[in-house]
Each structure stands twice: as C-alpha cells, then as structure tokens.
Structure 1
Amino acid sequence: MSALAIDIGGTFTDIVHYDDASGRFVAHKELTTPSDPAHGVVAGIGHLFAAEGIDAAKVNRVVHATTLFTNALIERRGAVTGLLTTQGFRDTLEIGHERKYELYDLHLPLPQPLVRRALRLEALERLAPDGTVEIPLDEASVLAAADALVAKEVKSLAICFLHSYANPAHERAAARLIAERHPGLILSLSSDVSPQIREFDRSSTTVANAYVKPLAEKYLNRLSGDLAGLGIAAPLFMMLSNGGLTHVDEAKRVPIQLLESGPAAGALSAAFFGQRSGKRDLLAFDLGGTTAKLALVHGGEPLVVHKFEAGRERRFTTGSGLPLNISTIELIEIGAGGGSIAAHDALGLLKVGPRSAGSVPGPACYARGGTEPTVTDGNLLLGYLDADTFAGGTMKLSTQAAETAVGGLAAQTGLDLSRTASGIHAVVNETMAAAARIHVAEQGHDPRDFALLVTGGGGPLHGCELARRLGISQVICPPGAGVASALGLLLAPARVDRVATVTRRLDGLDWAALDAEYAGLEAEARAVIGATLGATAALAIRRSADLRFVGQGYELITELPAGPYGPGTEAAIRAAFETGYERVFSRRPAVAAVEIINIRVSVTGGTAEGVLDPEVPVTTQGAAQTGTRQVCFGDTPYSAPVLDRRRLPAGSEVMGPAIIEEAMSTLLIPPGARAQVEAGGNIVIHLAQPATAGAREREAV
C-alpha cells in the first residue's frame, strides 16, 4: 500500500508518493494554479502517476496541506460574511484591544475587519460572565437580523454572543432559528469555534472561520471528487496548523484550523530528519517560491502556541494583524522566495520582496510572461541553477529572459549583470537573516546554538549563506529537500486541541468538577480522532491550563499532570506554574493566589514516527561529478564541480565550492565549507565558523 501527500504552495504544488513497503518516494512539482488550485493538484498527480507507473487503486491514504485559506484571508477573497452579536457589541471588531501597536505613529494602518459595519447586526439577549441569563434571547430580533443580512447577499454568518463560552444556549438557539428560515446560509458559532474568554479575539476568530468556510466546503468537495475521478478511493486527511491531521468533515466545520498547515508540515519534517543526524535543536528553514518559513525545533519538537495573527499590516509587528485563537506551530513567515521581485526603493536602495511574481506569471526565466527581475533570475545568472534540469526537469529556464530582466535593474545602477545578480542574492539573504534573528531572540535563544536544516526548492540554495550570517556552524540538507514539507505530511499524527474557559482560583477548587471538565474535552477530541483513524487508534493525551496570579491580565500556559485530580494536585500545579513563570519573567510577583482561566487538552493518535522511513536512493554506477559550472560567490568567480546527489554514497565528503543537484532542489556548498553524506541520507555541511559554548555542550552529550 502507499500514501500520497499534496502540498499547495504559492508557486509550486508538490506531490509526493510514498511506498510503505519499500520506503521509496517519488515526487513531482507542478506550477500552482491560483484561480483553481484543485486543477494543479489533479494535473500534478496525473503527471507523477503516469511517469512512475503508480496504481491509483493502491493508494490507501491522502494527506493534504494548502495555503488557500491563508491567502483568502490576506487577499480578502473570502465569502460575503455577516456577524450577529449581542445588542451593544456591533463594533467589537473595530474597537479591538483599544491599543496601538506603534505608539507614536500618527498614520498607523489598522487591520480592517473582515465584515463591514453594514453587515454586523445585533440580537436582543444577554448572558452574565458565569453563563446565567440576564436578558432572554429575543427570537424576533434574531430572525429580523438574519433576514436583513440574507437580503444583502450574505453567504456565511458568524454568531458571537457575549459570554457564550460559559453558556452556548443562546447561540445554538439562534442557529436553529436561522437554519430553519435560511437553510442555505453557512453558520459559524463562537461557542464551537473558540469557546474562551476575550470578546475581540473570540469574535475575530469566529468571523475569520465564517469568512473562509464556504471556500473550504467548495474546495474540499471539489478535491474529493477529483481524487475519486482519478481512481483514488483512499480517505483524504487535512493537515492542521498544530502539526496534526484531521478528517475532511472536521476541516470543513472549522477551516480556520488549517491556516498554517503547509509550514507546520515543514517543521515536522525538519524535526524528523534532524533526529537522523542526532540534532534535536534546529532552526527549520523552508524557502519556497513565494515565502520563507522559519520554525524553531527545541528538544526534538516544534513549539506549539495557541495564538496567531493573520494578515498583519506590518509583517514583524505583533498586534498589527487579525488575532485568531488557533493552535499552531510557532513560526515566522518572511516575504522572500524564488519569485521575490527586486527593485529600487525611493532612496535608490536595492530591495527584494515582499512582492512576488508567484506562479503566474512567475520569474522572468520561466518565460511565462514575467518581466521583473526575481531571486530565481539572479540565481540562474550566478550559475547556481541548471536551466535544463530545474524542478526535476519539468520546466526549462530561459537565461536570456533572466538577463533581460536583471539587465534592466543593472542599467539603473550602472553595475554589471553579475554584480547586480549578486546584490539580489545578498539582499534577500540578509532580509531572511534579519527576520530570523528577531524570531529566535523573541524565543529567548541564540541562533548559534542551533543547526540549520534547509528544505524547500530554495532552502538548500540559500542555507549556507543564511547560516553564515546567523553565526551557525552546521547546515543539514535532508534527502528530497525540495518536497520535504509534503513528506512531513506523512509524518503527522492525528491531533485535536480543545479549550474551555473555567476561571477559578486554585485554592478551594472543586477538583472532581475540574477532572470532569477535562474528561468532557477529551471525549470531544477522542470522537474526532475516532472519526479520523478509527475507534482502535492508540491515543496520547496531554492536559494543560492557562494560569495566572490573581489580578493579572494575561496567562501562562502550563503543562498539568494527567489526572485524576484531588486536593494533593494543587501543590504540583502551583509548582509547575511558578517554575514556568520564573523561566519567562525571571521573578514572581508578591501574590500568593493563582487562578485557572482556560483548560486545554491535546489528543494525538496514529503517529507515523518510526513508520515513515524513506530510503536514500543511491546510484552506484557512474561518477558523482557530472560536470563543472562557473559560479559567483560575492564578486569572486569559481569553477565549481556539479555532483549528482544520487551518486554520492554514505561517507562521501565534498569540499566547497561545489553544487550538489537532485530532482527538486540544488545544494550550494560555499568555498571553505566541508560537506559529509551521512548513512541516514542527510548531507551535513560544516562551515568555517565557531559554535557557541552551549552548542558545543549539547554536541558532546
């Protein structure tokens, strides 16, 4: 039997087929079709299956990640959405947190709500913070609002009543009334999507879910039908932002959980291949055609957080986007990729990105109508890419088109073609390095304590230079690096995260009631896992809680014991919270009382760890060197050997400068660096720069 992984990116759609018995995987890159993403998926599968002679009937699992819903939010291409809320709370989405993310900017751009004010209406009802009814639900006001919104062509409706996290009765009653009157209207309830305190964040999350829900239903229905049309009868699983899988019906219900599905898969892949090289502390760097992603893997696991911001007005500024209460692998996205466009700013300085040529029209060298110079054009002119074998030979690059595009930029500065291309390469590398420094520092780490694991079509090409700028001494390039995110989909377990608000002090807590509430969340999660993997799947359950000292406004997520709970549990929970608090803030306030705000469960099952074991295809016949190519590192030209990765057996050592090619990516070894091929398939590049003391200590262990 076999598995199929589908990862839709901004420029390429990656298709990977993995044979469970042999461990052999094959891949294909298809240009993404933004106007109809499913079309590119079907075309890519058809090309791969025809080229490799794969029997569609033997595929028993399909796993999918997509940027479709993220792009819909950022580009405002979702459904016409309405909001029904409690009387007096119509403007919650615009009031927000009532603070500026840049205090002294008088012209501060604020994220615009996904629902304009005319489509935000109110219902007469009111709940108290404990869930008791202060004003009963007025059914006439609900139906009048729904009628008015449908008359304005609203296709999807978010229902977000005050304090519904404590009592969902009013939201559910309103949903029943509206569904009877307008059965075609798609509904999202905050008590289902985000049942936790903080009105703005809950409203923002529910509205975002409603905004992409019709798109998700249409796309997933279409894709399921297209896969069946290809003869693939296997179940379709969707990758979530938290690094887990779920079934299609759950993805349709809460598609907001899928926003960062592709980057999450890349982080899982990095953790897996890092273990093969004995590295548990990694910076996972994935450079694609449109964006670069960086995730921190610490202790062998990517960091999962429960807050996310979409569509930031300023990419690296917290508070400038739409807050979403979703579980996601912590990562940073940088507007830099192979399609990033190079241009001069108002001061005449060279800038690269965040504008991208994407897949349509693509970089100039794709010869598909693009005329502006991009990173890929510069890399081709520097000799880093082979025009005939790019993307596994699925497309030929035009050197002449690249020269014309970069030449126009060179004419503006008076530089020659080579120096302009080197400038594009250097600027995009520094852009990524600057963002990486900030991200790693915000997590309380030094980048020099980590190895850099590179994936994506452009990661191996830029990885060594990025590492040099960050002071990192080791770079790891896994096999199949160009499609590593798609491979990561096959590593993912099924996972469900659930949260509920309780708001109780630890002292005097009814421990049996708390245990029962955790059990209720676990039962919900088990049901979703069961629908995904079957009732017999082995499960792992983690409990945590959002804790704070009484009087504080923000919480710290703390891992809790498994249960059952009793009076003796308080000391263990308090100790875990205080330890975590001191680690983050270096001190604790002079306050004794601690309270639980939210409880959380994470249930995983069916992990592929230890099952996915991709073989490393090595061709024993023929010399590894297939030729030489003139390349430039900075302003210095070199004649570099070109090596076929499939012909490099374990134990091979390569001195830079060198170019190592495989079907979906090109690894660039700079002068003075030394690369080793490991038995597990990774290529580890040692750069001529010292590691920190912390990194040396971990290496010794």
Structure 2
Amino acid sequence: MTPHRHALAIDIGGTFTDLVLYDGTNGRFAAHKELTTPADPAVGVVTGIRHLFAAEAVDPASVGRVVHATTLFTNALIERRGAVTGLIATAGFRDTLEIGHERKYELYDLHLPLAQPLVRRALRQEAMERLAPDGTVEIPLDPASVLEASDALVAQGVESVALCFLHAYANPAHEQEAARLIAARHPNLILSLSSDVSPQIREFERSSTTVANAYVKPLAERYLNRLSGDLAALGITAPLFMMLSNGGLTHVDEAKRVPVQLLESGPAAGALSAAFFGGRSGRGDLLAFDLGGTTAKLALVTEGQPLVVHRFEAGRERRFTTGSGLPLNISTIELIEIGAGGGSIAAHDALGLLKVGPRSAGSTPGPACYGRGGTEPTVTDGNLLLGYLDAATFAGGTMRLDTAAAEHAVGNLAAQAALDTARTAAGIHAVVNETMAAAARVHVAEQGHDPRDFALLVTGGGGPLHGCELARRLGIAEVICPPGAGVASALGLLLAPARVDRVSTVSRRLDSMDWDTLESGYAAMEREAREVITATLGPAAALTVRRAADLRFLGQGYEVITELPPGPYGPEAEAGIRAAFEAGYERVFSRRPAVAAIELINIRVSVTGSTAEGALDPEVPMTAGGDPRTGTRRARFGDTVVDAPVLDRRRLAAGSEIAGPAIIEEAMSTLLIPPGARAAVEASGNIVVHLSQPALPPVRQREAVQ
C-alpha cells in the first residue's frame, strides 16, 4: 500500500458524525455515518473510524491528513456549557458586556429578551490602567490591581480569564504585562487577550469576542488533546487540521489558541463543497442548502465563491433577528442556520397551529423511528410514513428505522387535531419546507439577490429529500444533487485550503496617511499569517495574499470592507484605494454622499495556502451493472399517493434521464423527484433536476447501460 495515500475527514453534527475516507491515488472515497455522542463526541468519532477502516480494509498508517469540523464549541456557547470564565477589564468598564450598544433590536417590544453575557457580574473584575485611543499611556498599569483581580477570580473557581483593556488594539503592552503577572501567580489559569483575539476598535464587540474565546478555550484544549491521543491510539499518525469558520484550515495549536474562529466550521465546509460540485456542472451562482439532523444551513455562492464576512452573532434570542445575539469579530462564510432538520420536533402551538422546530430530538434520544427512546414526532418520522425513506437502508444501513414507533408518535399528534396520520405526516413535511423557504427568502433578499437567479445545490442527509419542494417554493427551476450528498460537508473539509485572516485597527484619514506605517502594518500581519500557514502545510505551500480595509466616509459610524490592490503601498496608492472604496460603496448603497474625505479604520489580510498533495479530485462513483429500478414504494406528494419507482443511484449512468415521481437512493441520502419534474445524470456525477419542464417517460437509460 502506498504510504499516506488516504485523507480522512471528520464532521461532527448535532445528530450524526460523518466520516469520509478519500484515496488520493484513484479519487475514490468511502463514507460512514455514526450517531453523534453528545456527552463525549470523541467516542462517536473513534467508533466511526473503526467501522469505516474495517469496512474498507484500510491501514490507519496510510492516512496522511486528517481534517476535522465540529459543532462542539458552537453548542457550548448556545447551551452555556463552557468553562467558568472571568473577565478583567479597565477600571470603569466591567459592565461593557452588559451595556452593549444600549439599543433594542426591536424598538417597541417592552419584554425584549436580551442575550445574557457569558460572564456574570461577580466574575468581572477591574484593573487600574488606561490607554488613549492612539495607544499612549494615560494611567500606568497597576500590578497589584491585576493580581488582586486574578486572586478574586481564582477564589471563585474561574478556569479561564479574558483580558480586555481599553484601546488594547492600539497598544497591547498592558494586556501582555498583565498576562505575565497572572501566569506567574496562577500558572493553571487559561488566558485570552483581546489584543491577540480581536485587535480592533469597538469595545463591546472586542470584549464579547475575547470572552467567547475564553469561554470555549479550555473545552477546545481538552477535546483536541483527547482527539489527538485517540487518533494516535488508532495508529493514525497524520497531522490533524481544523476547519475554520472562514472556509480555511489551521493546525491544532492555532485552533486551541483561538477556538472562537471554529464556531461555524461545519457549515463552512458545506458551502465549499457546494461551490466545488456546482463548478463541476458549470454553475457558479448557487444557493447551497444543507439539511442535517438538527439544523438546515443556506449559503450563497456567487461566481463560484462563498461570501466571507467578518462579523457573526452567536446564540441569538430570536434566530433571524440581527442584534439579538452575542456579537463576535470572526471571519466566517456568510450563511443562515435554520432550526429545521430531520430531528426537528413537530407540535401544536397555543393556537392549535402545527409548528416544526427549532426544538430537536438530536441523536439522543433521536426521532421516534430511531427506536432509542424518542416519543415525539419529528420530520424524519413524517418522511418515513410518507414513503420517502427505506427503513432498512437508512443512513447507509447503519440503523433500521421503526415504522410502528413513527406511526405512534405522528398518530398522537394527529389525534390532537382530529386528522389522520398520513395527512399529519404530510403537514409536517410541508410546514418544515415552508419554514426553510421563509428564512431563505429573507436571507437571499438581505444579500441583494433574487433566489430565482440561482440553482439550488442540496447536501446533507435531508437536503436531497426536501430540496425540490424548497426550490419550488422559492421559484428556483434547477436543483443539483452531487454524489455522496449525505456526507458532502465532510468532503468539503478536504477541499479547504489553509487560511489565516488577520485584522488590525489603524484609524487614519486617507489623505493624511503615513504610508510607511500602513505598509509595515500590512507586512507584519502577512508575516504572521505566513508563519501559521507554513506551520500548517510546510514551507512548500503555494501562498495567495489578499489585502482589504474597512473604509468609510468621514463622519460615518460604519465601514464598508473593501478589497484593495496588492501592495506595497506608498502615496501613489491613494487613488487606487479611493476608487476601490467608492465602487464598493456604490454597489452596497447605490449612491455616494457628497463627502470627499475617507477614513481607513481597520486593515485586513487574508493568506491562503495549498499544496498539490492535498488537492481533491473525487472520481464519479462507479456505475453498478443492472437495472437501476429496485422496486416501487407508496409515496405521498401533496394530496396524491402514487407508486413511485425506487432507483439505485449507483446504477444510473451518465446520460440517464428520470421523470418524476421517483425516489433515488444512495448510501447516505435520498433524492426525491416530484411529479412533473425531470432529472438527468451528468458526466460529473451530479444529478440535475429541472422543475419546470414537461414530464418524460419514467426512466430512459443510456443505450450502453441497456
């Protein structure tokens, strides 16, 4: 066996842990789904790896790269299961986390729920010091106050401390000295410095980001150390890389240093996968739709690239309302998460209306049909009763679904509304589809787009099952289902380049810029980013450097992030920077104010690195011989019940055409083609469904297959 021929991807979701083993010598990949073990996620990972390696007869020593994404840190924030965390702030600023912006995200709601700080007031201490906005010292750091604050926190059982001093982005000296003092007094305390985690203006966002990092940092260190040890015990000696929210990779030490950058790692991988498979079909403008067991994710891909933004909100009190969560200064692929998945629970609200989600059965106990103790009706239970799923082959045959349990759970819900079970199951399916469509409409509109201009690319265990109906509700005419759709996010991990984003505050007018200082600032961030990329991929990595800046017209309170021409910068660069900002401003606002002066607030660099060895080029799954029809199944589409043909995707050769209704099954997902739609299998392996074309004969295979 060729040494290091394999790459392993691990994606931990709320319900399933997906594993993909990719063979770089022939482009083939194998996958396995294992139920997530929330109490100890590493257990599910190890169990799944053992099963996958045994099934494929693979030597663990042949693995040359392991890439991992997890929802562990996001869930810890949302569910408030992080470390006991303290905050040491500049005297007079301990309540910055609570004051926030002093504005309501819904003006007229007198009982507005607000996101509570991760650190309660008793664990927020103060230190005597003060810096001016330009970084000059107004009040020197008082070491005694720092030690007194740290002693008070340790006495209350604090495990991790965030240091957030006023204007530390302009001068980190006080934070660094405080960290040195605390480390000498309390060497077991885990520290997060705002000048390291988020060195940019706006005290609330900077404090919130640093505290969030401190809150999950002990969890990240324990988990990543445990996982690294478990992989070594399995005989896997390959380096472990972590997926970042921005769609890039980093090494474990960097992930443990700034784990807040990993919060959206799984969804980011799904967007990368959608862009890759869409490109294989020549589609650059996509809505990437991933439906898992707990949530659905939707991301925009334009011109073949997902949109990366530099602000994120975690733990929103109202899922779709900006301002209702904890603001975090992290780079992340822009997407929306919807509380709708296979495990989403259906129930009647106070008015007797059917609602689905955001409450989820997760993996423990899971939907009623899992037979693991769940009793409440879920989306998966409804889909099973509608005839969309095969009870014997669900999740690649790793578990058998209990139809009787699903009938009992949905039947209880039906009885509450005096409806029959089948109609209630259809209602669950319709309601969850409309819930996702409503959220998608808002998200796409907020990005300035019309969903009808995009194709919908579906992934996840449930994406292909719900994709065509979601597309119909959005007015989208084309749905793309890639091979291995059920584990596409895990495959996306293997597509990601190493990436480092850095930001620093400058806050100068463009017409009075100190160009040497600006260039040295960019150069320093690029040098730091290159060091991380080199530590991740080695010195042979091919690097791409992009520069950007947060710019605004003088007097404005918010900036437009603008990609800039490459450096180095001198006075001659002013015209190019101005032109780039004005063009970007007009794209966003369609007009320009009558102000000439421009301020440059933050500078940003993004460095990506890749190696030829890590390139992913998956082969189209080999076509099995024989008739693709494996039988028929009674399935309900709206008010119509039909005997829909069931097709084995492995036997559908390129060029095959399928008319709906049809159910196309593969190991990890099921593609549902509704009546009146038609589908074609492309040479890329993608199945493209056209929803607005006349019906075709049920299946017309390519002559070679017949």
Q: TM-score range by the shorter chain?
A: over 0.9
Q: For residue 357 of structure 1, report the CA deviation from its aligned partner.
A: 0.2
Cα distance in 2, alignment partners of residues 618 and 133 from structure 1: 67
Structure 2: which amino acid aligns with 1:408?
N
Structure 1: which amino acid aligns with 2:240?
L
Superimposed CA distance per residue, residues 610-666 of structure 1 (whole angstroms, 9 cap, x where no aligned partner): 931111223342110000000000110011110000000000000000000000000
Residue of structure 2 equivalent to 1:275: 279
Cα distance in 2, alignment partners of residues 405 and 428 from structure 1: 17
Residue of structure 2 equivalent to 1:696: none
| Within-5 A mapping of 1:131-280 | 131-280=135-284
Decide which of 535, 546, 556 is 2:539's aligned counterpart.
Answer: 535
| Within-5 A mapping of 1:316-465 | 316-465=320-469
Superimposed CA distance per residue, residues 146-193 of structure 1 (whole angstroms, 9 cap, x where no aligned partner): 001000000000000000000000000000000000000000000000
Superimposed CA distance per residue, residues 194-221 of structure 1 (whole angstroms, 9 cap, x where no aligned partner): 0000000000000000000000000000
State the secondary structure of the residue aligned to 2:544: strand
| Within-5 A mapping of 1:476-495 | 476-495=480-499
Superimposed CA distance per residue, residues 582-622 of structure 1 (whole angstroms, 9 cap, x where no aligned partner): 11111111111001000000000016799311112233421
Residue of structure 1 equivalent to 2:590: 586
The answer on 1:669 being equivalent to 2:665 is: no
The Cα RMSD (Å) is 1.0
Superimposed CA distance per residue, residues 353-402 of structure 1 (whole angstroms, 9 cap, x where no aligned partner): 00000000000000000000000000000000000000000000000000
Select between 610-619 and 505-514 the one with higher mean Cα deviation: 610-619
| Within-5 A mapping of 1:81-160 | 81-160=85-164
State the secondary structure of the residue aligned to 2:605: strand
State the secondary structure of the residue aligned to 2:330: coil
CA contact (8 A) 1:492 1:607 kept: no
State the secondary structure of the residue aligned to 1:604: strand
TM-score using structure 2 length: 0.97
Cα distance in 2, alignment partners of residues 624 and 5 from structure 1: 30
Cα distance in 1, alignment partners of residues 478 and 528 from structure 2: 43
Cα distance in 1, alignment partners of residues 535 and 395 from structure 2: 37
Residue of structure 2 equivalent to 1:43: 47
Cα distance in 2, alignment partners of residues 507 and 81 from structure 1: 43
Residue of structure 2 equivalent to 1:686: 690
Residue of structure 1 equivalent to 2:506: 502
Decide which of 257, 281, 284 is 2:288's aligned counterpart.
Answer: 284
Residue of structure 2 equivalent to 1:16: 20
State the secondary structure of the residue aligned to 1:531: helix
Residue of structure 2 equivalent to 1:6: 10
Superimposed CA distance per residue, residues 242-274 of structure 1 (whole angstroms, 9 cap, x where no aligned partner): 000000000000000000000000000000000
Cα distance in 2, alignment partners of residues 609 and 420 from structure 1: 51
Select between 87-96 and 609-618 the one with higher mean Cα deviation: 609-618
State the secondary structure of the residue aligned to 1:623: coil
State the secondary structure of the residue aligned to 2:387: coil
State the secondary structure of the residue aligned to 1:616: coil
Q: For residue 548 of structure 1, report the CA deviation from its aligned partner.
A: 0.3
Structure 1: which amino acid aligns with 2:135?
G
Residue of structure 2 equivalent to 1:697: none
The answer on 1:474 being equivalent to 2:478 is: yes
Q: Extract unaligned runs of 5+ from structure 2.
A: 695-706
CA contact (8 A) 1:677 1:684 kept: yes
Structure 1: which amino acid aligns with 2:497?
P
Residue of structure 2 equivalent to 1:657: 661
User: Displaced runs of 4+ in structure 1, greater than 3 A?
Assistant: 607-610
Structure 2: which amino acid aligns with 1:142?
V
Cα distance in 1, alignment partners of residues 612 and 647 from structure 2: 32
Cα distance in 2, alignment partners of residues 621 and 155 from structure 1: 59
The answer on 1:647 being equivalent to 2:651 is: yes
Q: Specify whether residues 610 and 677 from structure 1 end up closer, same or farther in structure 2 by C-alpha distance, changes over 3 A only.
A: farther
Decide which of 623, 628, 642 is 1:624's aligned counterpart.
Answer: 628
Structure 1: which amino acid aligns with 2:14?
G
CA contact (8 A) 1:490 1:608 kept: no
Percent of counterpart pairs with the same letter?
Answer: 84
The answer on 1:565 being equivalent to 2:569 is: yes
Structure 1: which amino acid aligns with 2:24?
D
CA contact (8 A) 1:472 1:689 kept: no
Structure 2: which amino acid aligns with 1:402?
A
Superimposed CA distance per residue, residues 3-50 of structure 1 (whole angstroms, 9 cap, x where no aligned partner): 000000000000100000011100000000000000000000001111
Q: For residue 689 of structure 1, report the CA deviation from its aligned partner.
A: 7.1
Q: For residue 580 of structure 1, report the CA deviation from its aligned partner.
A: 0.8
Residue of structure 1 equivalent to 2:29: 25
Cα distance in 2, alignment partners of residues 681 and 272 from structure 1: 13
CA contact (8 A) 2:459 2:481 kept: yes
Superimposed CA distance per residue, residues 534-590 of structure 1 (whole angstroms, 9 cap, x where no aligned partner): 122110000000000011100000010111112221111111111111111111111
Residue of structure 2 equivalent to 1:699: none
Cα distance in 2, alignment partners of residues 680 and 622 from structure 1: 21
Q: Specify whether residues 98 and 607 from structure 1 end up closer, same or farther in structure 2 by C-alpha distance, changes over 3 A only.
A: farther
State the secondary structure of the residue aligned to 1:468: helix
Structure 1: which amino acid aligns with 2:535?
A
Q: Extract unaligned runs of 5+ from structure 1.
A: 691-701
Structure 1: which amino acid aligns with 2:305?
E
Cα distance in 1, alignment partners of residues 556 and 255 from structure 2: 35
CA contact (8 A) 2:680 2:688 kept: yes
Cα distance in 2, alignment partners of residues 305 and 343 from structure 1: 35
Cα distance in 2, alignment partners of residues 185 and 617 from structure 1: 50
Structure 2: which amino acid aligns with 1:575?
A
Residue of structure 2 equivalent to 1:698: none
Cα distance in 2, alignment partners of residues 664 and 232 from structure 1: 25
State the secondary structure of the residue aligned to 1:40: helix
Cα distance in 2, alignment partners of residues 433 and 94 from structure 1: 34
CA contact (8 A) 2:551 2:560 kept: yes
Structure 2: which amino acid aligns with 1:237?
F
The answer on 1:600 being equivalent to 2:604 is: yes
Cα distance in 1, alignment partners of residues 39 and 304 from structure 2: 38
Structure 2: which amino acid aligns with 1:102?
E
CA contact (8 A) 1:5 1:487 kept: yes
Cα distance in 2, alignment partners of residues 382 and 662 from structure 1: 18
Structure 1: which amino acid aligns with 2:469?
E
State the secondary structure of the residue aligned to 1:568: helix
Structure 2: which amino acid aligns with 1:416?
D
CA contact (8 A) 1:491 1:608 kept: no
Q: For residue 512 of structure 1, report the CA deviation from its aligned partner.
A: 2.1
Superimposed CA distance per residue, residues 643-697 of structure 1 (whole angstroms, 9 cap, x where no aligned partner): 000000000000000000000000000000000000010000000179xxxxxxx
CA contact (8 A) 2:541 2:611 kept: no
TM-score using structure 1 length: 0.98
Q: How many positions carry a matched residue from both structures? A: 690
CA contact (8 A) 2:464 2:671 kept: yes
